[in-house]
Structure 1
Amino acid sequence: MTRPLATAFISLAFLVVSAAPALAAPCKDAKGKFVKCPPKGAPKKGPCKDAKGRFTQCE
């Protein structure tokens, strides 16, 4: 009865270990060497509005 549980646990552990490198996502240059990742842009704050609260073109 514990055999299916052990099999499920082992397969789950295998899945977690194999996904770990994908989560790191290091930056590489054209030659494949690790480099410092560029900073991400400022987060977008949503639609732009003027002083009266009307939607306007974002700058």
Structure 2
Amino acid sequence: MRISIDSDVCIGAGQCALTAPDVFTQDDDGFGMVVAGQEDPAGHPLAREAARACPVRAISVDGA
């Protein structure tokens, strides 16, 4: 499975980091990013919930 954040769409609302802090964080400018070192971040139980919480749908979780 794969997870990605469209940096052209992200507005830095932070809902991803609030919903799944083990998977997402925010960079120095406040935009969302996947936490480094996660073996399978898309497989995290809250990854899809965080994608749904994004107000601009900048996060995609692909795979089964």
Give TM class, smaller chain. Answer: under 0.3
Bigger share in strand: 2
Bigger share in helix: 1
TM-score (norm 2): 0.22
For the pair shown, the structure with the greater C-alpha radius of gyration is 1
Higher RCO (CA 8 Å, separation ≥ 6 residues): 2
TM-score (norm 1): 0.24
